[in-house]
Amino acid sequence: MQVDFAEVMFFPQGEKNKRFANVEVLAERMVAAGADRSSVVVAMGGGVVNDTGGFLASIFMRGVPVIQIPTTLLSQVDAAVGGKTGVNLESGKNLIGTFHQPSAVLVDSEVLATLPEREYRAGLFEVIKHGVIASPELFEMMDSRREDVLALHPEVVDRMVCESVRIKAEVVSADEREGGLRRILNFGHTIGHGLEAETSYSRFLHGEAVSFGMTAATHLASLVGVLGDADRDAILRQVDAYGPIPSLEGIEADALVRRTLSDKKTIKGKVHFVLPDRIGTLWCRPESKRTQWRPRFGWRWLRHEWHHPKRDPG
């Protein structure tokens, strides 16, 4: 590829800055720099940059190519892969967005050594998610090699990234626009997205919010009878082992319940949960008259356990 001219545009970090107003600012800068339909957007950074850069590319002059260069664990195993782009509204996360597949995704796992520990740990929860939804082997590795995971052992890091990308790529290839199978990638995200929105995208990193969402979804799956006790306990132990997450103090459970009603997976007022039925497979289907009330039964757990944040396992 011949590059005639490159304009570097910096973007403020954090979910709170993933807003349409900032996309407009970036688009104006592209116009001022002479960008046209032959231009390419290169989104180098974490998940916020990947989501925003991909969205910008998808709507600039009705669409230009994007190359994703993810630099955080979360973006390498999730955000940069699959073609979902978008920005947040005050009322909910990623409610404005498009599907726009990148022309390439360039991953270098060595950059993960530069991350703050909290940022790295937040990405680990998306790896755990992939283990729960599709790979008992990945789940087992995260359990048995925790010290190597936290020490960024090269072989373990490469396996986490490669296996996660493989899982997501296979799911997206089968269901690019989330008509069915791709919904399994939302495990932990219904409540996780609500938690991010309820705290104005300022208290939790995305992976941290997903960790609580996975915990809640696991309890819900147990309460409605689709997940056995042994797998429930194994999932909860593994999520807890890679904590802690910020305190939930001051967040009302009822407010979070209301947030789920504006989630993208809520259809005609019915909240659609992605629930594990065992490690490696998930229960994901529209609520029927028989099951519609049953997930809501789980809010009883949510309210009772709300102020018990995870302990740091050390």
State the catalytic residues.
Answer: 62, 84, 126, 168, 178, 182, 186, 189, 193, 206
No. of helices (H) and no. of strands (E), the chain: 13, 7
Q: In a 10 Å sphere around its CB, with 0-12 CB exposed, 13-18 middle and 19+ buried, how is residue 288 labelled? A: exposed
Q: Tell me the C-alpha distance between 155 and 215, whole Å.
A: 28
Q: Distance between alpha carbon 207 and the CA centroid of its chain, in Å?
A: 6
Quote the radius of gyration of the chain (alpha carbons, Å).
19
Sheet holding 66-70, edge to edge: 41-45, 66-70, 104-105
- How many other CB atoms sit within 10 Å of the CB of residue 155? 9
Going by C-beta distance under 8 Å and a sequence separation of 6 or more, which residues neighbour residue 53? 11, 41, 42, 43, 45, 66, 68, 85
CA angle (79 as vertex; 77, 83 as ends), nearest 5: 115
Helix (H/G/I), strand (E/B), else coil: 106: coil
The strand pairing partners of 68, in sequence order, are 43, 105
Q: Distance between alpha carbon 193 and the CA centroid of its chain, in Å?
A: 9
Largest CA distance in the chain: 61
Q: Are 193 and 266 in contact (CB under 8 A)?
A: no
